Structure 1
Amino acid sequence: MNRTWLYVVGGVLLAGVIHIATVVMVPYFATDDAWSAMTTFGREDTFHTLPRTEAGAEPLASLDPHMLYAVCRFSLTDGPLRITATLPNDFWSIAVFDRRGRNRFSLNQRSAERSELDMAVITPVQMAQLRQDPPSALETAIVVEIPLQQGFALIRVFVADETLLPQARAALDTADCAGSL
């Protein structure tokens, strides 16, 4: 009888360990991550304005209907990324996400203290190389050093009412996600 209980307890503990390990490992083996989902909006290294958010037809989950969004998938394997845009004086923000959709950096118009967005996304290795001979183009840029190889940038522009929609679209059309400095 004691041996039977030992096998039952051992089996339950082993099942628990296997269950926890499986749940923890799922994100690492999932192929349908946030970066891959961005392929539906267009090619890499270009900002794509997302369709307006409407109830039940959001292009991505949890988007605010009072915002207009543009997304750019990028890869830092070939070099740093330069993001530029002329955004309105109303609220705007930009966030850089890793491949799995975790926010790695964010900035808004108050933090930037300007409507001209000029940002460079660089890996630590690329930053070490740039410190040896920094390009003059980075003097005015906000330099973001992030240890990732692939990710996406998401720009949000506040649209208070429908009359401001053309201005917001025009601002997002100026967004550039170039693959070099």
Structure 2
Amino acid sequence: MRSVYAAMRRLFHAVLLGLVGAGIVHIVVLLLVPVFSERDAWSRLSMASDLYRMNRLDAEAGGAPVVKSVDPLFYASACRFDLEEGVVRIRAPGNVPFWSVSVYDRSGHNIYSFNDHTANGGKLDAVVLTPAQMIDVRKDLPEDLQGAIFVEAPIDEGIFVIRSFVPDDSWKPIVSRFLDQSSCELQDF
């Protein structure tokens, strides 16, 4: 009788150990999926176009969206940049009901966000640069950057995303034009 209990205890111990090990492996695999994924936002945008080119992220631009949007009331556009090549300036003409901007690092972590309420006159004019580049720009700030929003980002490569609210169908062409005319340019100061 004693050997039956000992055998059952060893079996229970082995099953429990196997379940704990499987749980640990499962968690590690889930955490490593983004690291090994080839279909992240950076990869999808790099297949769509080169650095410093705005790409519509919504299906309204025609074709399949580059990155799926979670909110159908927002249209979006994005551009990839490399701050090792220089400072990046993003502008968009016109007025829309609401716009917001996010700067992400290459891995998709949000570095900085702002919206039209923090911009000078509601106009989108932003400059993304590293802290070292910011020191150089402050020494002799060009006059055309006086109203721009400066985003100091401690990254080399990143993604700049513009989202704009579309309250109803009458705003679709205006918001589309706002995003289509937006620019992402490498600046040399």
TM-score, structure 1 as length reference: 0.77
Larger radius of gyration: 2
Q: Deviation per CA, 1:124-157: give whole Å up to 9, x if none.
A: 22223333x3331332211000111111111111
1:75 aligns with 2:82: yes
Q: What does residue 45 of structure 2 align with? A: 38
Equivalenced residues, count: 178
- Consecutive unaligned residues of structure 1, counting only runs of 5 or more, are none
- Given that residues 120 and 147 in structure 2 are in contact (C-alpha distance below 8 angstroms), is that contact kept between their aligned partners in structure 1? no
Q: CA deviation at 1:92?
A: 1.0
Q: CA deviation at 1:78?
A: 0.5
Distance in 2 (alpha carbons) for counterparts of 1:84 and 1:58: 22
Q: What does residue 66 of structure 1 align with? A: 73
Q: What does residue 54 of structure 2 align with? A: 47
SS of the counterpart of 2:187?
coil
Distance in 2 (alpha carbons) for counterparts of 1:18 and 1:89: 48
Q: What does residue 170 of structure 1 align with? A: 177
Q: CA deviation at 1:177?
A: 0.2
Distance in 1 (alpha carbons) for counterparts of 2:37 and 2:132: 27
**Larger deviation: 14-23 or 170-179?**
14-23
1:118 aligns with 2:118: no
Distance in 1 (alpha carbons) for counterparts of 2:169 and 2:101: 22
- Given that residues 52 and 65 in structure 1 are in contact (C-alpha distance below 8 angstroms), is that contact kept between their aligned partners in structure 2? no
RMSD: 3.0
Distance in 1 (alpha carbons) for counterparts of 2:152 and 2:175: 28
- Given that residues 86 and 116 in structure 1 are in contact (C-alpha distance below 8 angstroms), is that contact kept between their aligned partners in structure 2? yes
- Given that residues 86 and 115 in structure 1 are in contact (C-alpha distance below 8 angstroms), is that contact kept between their aligned partners in structure 2? no
1:130 aligns with 2:137: yes
- Given that residues 121 and 144 in structure 1 are in contact (C-alpha distance below 8 angstroms), is that contact kept between their aligned partners in structure 2? yes
TM-score, structure 2 as length reference: 0.75
Q: What does residue 104 of structure 1 align with? A: 111
Distance in 1 (alpha carbons) for counterparts of 2:180 and 2:126: 17
Distance in 1 (alpha carbons) for counterparts of 2:164 and 2:94: 8
Q: CA deviation at 1:17?
A: 7.1
1:147 aligns with 2:154: yes
